[in-house]
Structure 1
Amino acid sequence: MSKTSNCAMFKNLPSSRILKQITRLNNIAGTPETAFKFNPKYTKLELFLIKQNVSGSAIGLKKFWRNNLPTLKFHNEDVNFVLTRINTSTKEDISKCPSKIVVYDNADKKYEIDCADRHTSDILAEVIKVTEASPVAEKEIPVIAAPQQDNFI
């Protein structure tokens, strides 16, 4: 029986270091539901996120950053992904802090996506729509096969 661990970014990973790494790499490569290739005219995607523990209206964007962004980055190597972490000192500053994604095209036109109080799946759907992304075919998504469990002690 295999033990699992709870890591913040990757849930329910096996306890073996090799199996854990294989699982992480496969999670980054994504699935047909999460792997998308942006239209080539889009050159930059910038996230604005509060630096402190995120709660409330920005939690969806934080989960998008942790779960979906690595896969999008993996399949869009020509796009510059930028994370801007914003320091806040008071609750008033936190409420004023933007929770958004800005997408830039090759003509420096900006498209803003407001992510306040939105679920991760809604944010991903909006990014796909704005970037005119197309799904990556399942056969093009690399998958590392896990070796037999008997080989690990």
Structure 2
Amino acid sequence: MFKELTSSRISRQVSRINQIHGDSSNAYVFNNVKKFELIFPVNRSYMESYGIRQFWKYNLPVFKFHNDDIDFIIKKVQTTDAELEKCPVKLVIHEDSQTKEIDCKNLEPSSILSQLLEITNAEPVPSSTLESLTLKPKASYIKN
């Protein structure tokens, strides 16, 4: 699933935890947001939804890690091939008193993130709390 993970089981787990924990480029706190809804078609071959799928895969786990009180809802719409162009590809942001939308059709994940940060006035997580896990090297045992 994540090609950049190492082959060792423990190393993979540590790497995945570090990915979910995030870094200064993708770890944000959303103060007034109550819910995020991602809406896109089930059909994976629909290239207009590629950006929102990547956003879902890489950014939402980090957001959930740092914003435990926000609901994240994924709505996959079942369509026929003829209806595929009409299917919405969007991110809906439910704030305290209003709802805002980002049309994500043909957008890169970085563009979706920048629009989201602009709309919500998200605050970056302090870098002092973003320490990643590291593995200690194996102790070498020498027999005499």
Moved over 6 A (4+): none
Please say if residues 54 and 62 of structure 1, whose CA atoms lie closer than 8 Å, have aligned partners that are also in contact. Answer: no
Match of 1:24 in 2: 16
Q: 1:1-153 alignment to 2 at 5 Å?
A: 7=1, 10-39=2-31, 41-89=32-80, 91-107=81-97, 109-148=98-137
Question: What SS does the corresponding residue of 2:72 show, helix, strand or coil?
Answer: strand
Give the paired residue count: 140
Task: Provide the rounded CA distance (Å) in 1 between the counterparts of 2:20 and 2:55.
Answer: 13
Question: What SS does the corresponding residue of 2:101 show, helix, strand or coil?
Answer: strand
Q: Which runs of 5+ in 2 are unaligned?
A: none
Task: Provide the rounded CA distance (Å) in 2 between the counterparts of 1:148 and 1:50.
Answer: 45
Q: How far off is 1:130 after superposition?
A: 1.4
Q: How far off is 1:76 after superposition?
A: 0.8
How much is the aligned-residue C-alpha RMSD, in angstroms? 1.5
Q: Which amino acid aligns with 2:51?
A: G
Task: Provide the rounded CA distance (Å) in 2 between the counterparts of 1:55 and 1:65.
Answer: 16
Q: TM-score, normalised by structure 1?
A: 0.85
Q: How far off is 1:11 after superposition?
A: 2.3
Question: What SS does the corresponding residue of 2:16 show, helix, strand or coil?
Answer: helix
